[in-house]
Structure 1
Amino acid sequence: MESQATTKGTFSSFPQMGTISFPQGPIGTPVPFYKSKAYLQNFLKGEPKVLGTVQIMIALMNFALGMIIILVPSRSYIYTNFILSTGYIFWGTAFFLVSGSLSIAAENKTTNSLVQSSLAMNTVSAVAAGLGIIILSINLAMNDSSYYSCIFESPHETCVCGLAVLLGIGVILLILAIFELAFSLEVSSFGCKATCCSQSGVTIFMPSPSQVPVTEA
């Protein structure tokens, strides 16, 4: 193998596989050899803005239905306060709203930091939605059994009507939680492909030509 310092400030080596030339620079100066952000475009294939908009709508509907549950008289319904005691209406709404906003921001300005933030927040939202599904399922089971308590209430029709409203809201909230889980996982999947499975750049520190020894054949 033969090596030499050229007069134009590049250091060339001649291995059997070919020739590689590096630009001149002072000692300790980093020279970026390869850096590509094309992998961030994989995140856009998941249409994060559309999914983020849907997530925000789910958050708003989740909060609105939660307010209806609070306004419905619950003196006669033993189990209707379970969902409120868990706080799911509030922290679930907050997680869904933030993750949706970050998904939209990550598409409007696709940077590595925003994509990673969207990935992290959507992962948290997926966990929150999973917990919400469990909470809402338990709540529905409890409310279903509380129907028999209306037998002893007066007026009976008011009790049954109020319980039916709460059951209907519980079903809608459960469906919204399932959708949120699916959307969060989809955004997280594309975010992971764009960040965790990306190809990072390489930085090479090159000495100046004056420090490169000359080897003559």
Structure 2
Amino acid sequence: AIQIMIGLMHIGFGAVSLTVFGQVYIPLAAVGGYPFWGAIFFIISGSLSVSVENHLSKSLVKCSMGMNITSAVMALTGIILYISELIVNILPGDTNPVGVGLGVLLLFFSLLEFGITVSTAHFGCQVTCCNDDPDMVFVPYTVSGGVACAEGHPAPPAYEALSPK
């Protein structure tokens, strides 16, 4: 869900950053369309991750892992674009603070997306590449009803506070 929200925020803030174009600030990433095409990749990979949680299958885990790797490359591209954008616009000294703020915010979201996609792809690779049991599929970060448990296994017994004697 976080990947989907980051994608939607990229679209929104990318559209706003286009409005500061030509006002002393040049939004390189937005002119190249990164907030829009990068956001599409983030939304698709987030949707596949949600789909894996709801409909568990090894092929869907592989699709999600591939899309997360692609999104990680897109996020890395965005990081490079936003760093370049900030360098180009901050060096002259006469900058638009709104443009710089949007650039820094979108850089932060790209860094966050990169971390999420790399960790999700890592766990997906552990499941598909390093697992000898073809019937076992593990989805990380899944919590059901407040208790994390494997599919088909009962939840652990509830903790009972022991009173001192």
Structure 1 residues 192-203: aligned runs within 5 Å: 192-199=125-132
Alignment partner of 2:101 out of 135, 145, 168: 168
The code of the aligned residue for 2:7 comes to: A
Alignment partner of 2:115 out of 162, 182, 186: 182
Match of residue 56 from structure 1: 4
Q: Which structure's residues are more often strand, by fraction? A: 1
Q: CA deviation at 1:91?
A: 1.3
For the pair shown, the structure with the greater C-alpha radius of gyration is: 1
The code of the aligned residue for 2:14 comes to: G
The code of the aligned residue for 1:182 comes to: G
The whole-number CA distance in structure 2 between the counterparts of 1:88 and 1:71 is 15
The whole-number CA distance in structure 1 between the counterparts of 2:84 and 2:29 is 9
Match of residue 162 from structure 2: none
Q: How does the TM-score come out when normalised to structure 2? A: 0.76
The whole-number CA distance in structure 1 between the counterparts of 2:123 and 2:10 is 25
The code of the aligned residue for 1:168 comes to: G
Give ranges in structure 1 of 5+ residues lacking alignment.
Answer: 1-52, 149-159, 202-217
Match of residue 88 from structure 2: 142
Match of residue 23 from structure 2: 76
Q: CA deviation at 1:86?
A: 2.2
Q: CA deviation at 1:85?
A: 2.9
Q: CA deviation at 1:90?
A: 1.3
Match of residue 70 from structure 2: 124
Match of residue 157 from structure 2: none
Alignment partner of 2:46 out of 61, 84, 100: 100
The code of the aligned residue for 1:174 comes to: L
Q: CA deviation at 1:94?
A: 0.6
Q: Indicate conservation of the 8 Å contact 2:3/2:43, yes or no.
A: yes
The whole-number CA distance in structure 2 between the counterparts of 1:90 and 1:103 is 20
Aligned length: 134
The whole-number CA distance in structure 1 between the counterparts of 2:22 and 2:108 is 26
Give ranges in structure 2 of 5+ residues lacking alignment.
Answer: 135-165
Q: How does the TM-score come out when normalised to structure 1? A: 0.59
Structure 1 residues 23-38: aligned runs within 5 Å: none
Match of residue 67 from structure 1: 15
The whole-number CA distance in structure 2 between the counterparts of 1:146 and 1:94 is 33
* Structure possessing the higher relative contact order (Cα contacts under 8 Å, 6 or more residues apart): 1
The whole-number CA distance in structure 1 between the counterparts of 2:123 and 2:64 is 10
Instruction: After the TM superposition, list the runs of 4 or more consecutive aligned residues in structure 1 that deviate by more than 6 angstroms.
Output: none
Match of residue 36 from structure 1: none
**Sequence identity, in percent?**
38
Q: State the Cα RMSD in Å.
A: 1.5
The whole-number CA distance in structure 2 between the counterparts of 1:191 and 1:132 is 23
